[in-house]
Amino acid sequence: MLVLSRRNSQSVVFPQLDIEIEVVRISTKNVRLGIKAPPNISVLREEVFDHCVETAVPEADTAKRLLALTDYVERTRGWLASVGATDADATLQRIVADLQRIRSERLPVARPQLKALIVDDNDNETRLLASYLRMKQFEVAIAQDGKAALEQLEEGDLPDCVLLDMQMPRYDGRWTIQQIRESSQFAPLRVFGMSGLELDECGVSVGPAGLDRWFQKPLDPPGLVDAIEKETLHPSLN
């Protein structure tokens, strides 16, 4: 861990992040910091921040700058504690807690890109679902029926999940899930069934020999994405 000692008017510069923090004044009760940051970085006092509503999603470089700033304030707090400035240390401790809260509430957590194969002969529904998944950072492939889906799967680059429509004129969902479960090559696949019909009307089941999950149409896209992420990234929790 890097520990820095700074006097009044001395600064710490983050050249790659374009952030400079200057110690303006130190007393036994508080620390005055001067912070220079790019225009797209908001620097607010706690009492101001509590009444401020931001709607923009932070960019990746914002996350890096916020992490660096939190790290610096934490090191400054440790130094103040070591020299006995307990009141100032307590103030910075609250700042660190607020920065950590901002990071957890405002910054999206990066996850690995997931790949989904949509198997559906309805072009309009497929296009809408694929567009939503791509917006959520999925890689999306499309097959018009079960036979086309199996041909894609046999190429060897298996997706994280298959979104399988049940009602297709050729090689429907029931036929497709039977072929998938009979092949050891496809054993890792998670297959989610989709249909406007009820589950028992489609002649399929949810379980080891059938579908992993069932979704009734019209779909709830956010709920579908949440289920995919839980099933593929945290399977032990289900």
Q: What is the pLDDT of residues 175-184, one digit of tens each?
A: 999 999 999 8
| Burial status of residue 22 (CB atoms within 10 A of its CB: 0-12, 13-18, 19 or more) | middle
Say what percent of the chain tops pLDDT 70: 63
What pLDDT score does 187 carry? Answer: 85
Q: What is the pLDDT of residues 218-228, one digit of tens each?
A: 888 888 999 88
What pLDDT score does 64 carry? Answer: 60
Whether the per-residue pLDDT at 56 is higher than 60: the answer is: no
What pLDDT score does 108 carry? Answer: 55
What pLDDT score does 31 carry? Answer: 74
- Region of 208 (left: φ > 0; alpha: ψ -120 to 50; beta: rest) is alpha
Task: Assign domain 114-237 to its CATH superfamily.
Answer: Response regulator (3.40.50.2300)
Whether the per-residue pLDDT at 96 is higher than 80: the answer is: no
What pLDDT score does 103 carry? Answer: 58
Lowest mean pLDDT among 3-17, 41-55, 193-207: 41-55
Number of other residues whose CB lies within 10 A of the CB of residue 188: 8
Domain ranges of the chain: 11-106, 114-237
The residue to which tokens 């289900």 are assigned: 238
Under the banding of pLDDT at 50, 70 and 90, the label for residue 80 is low
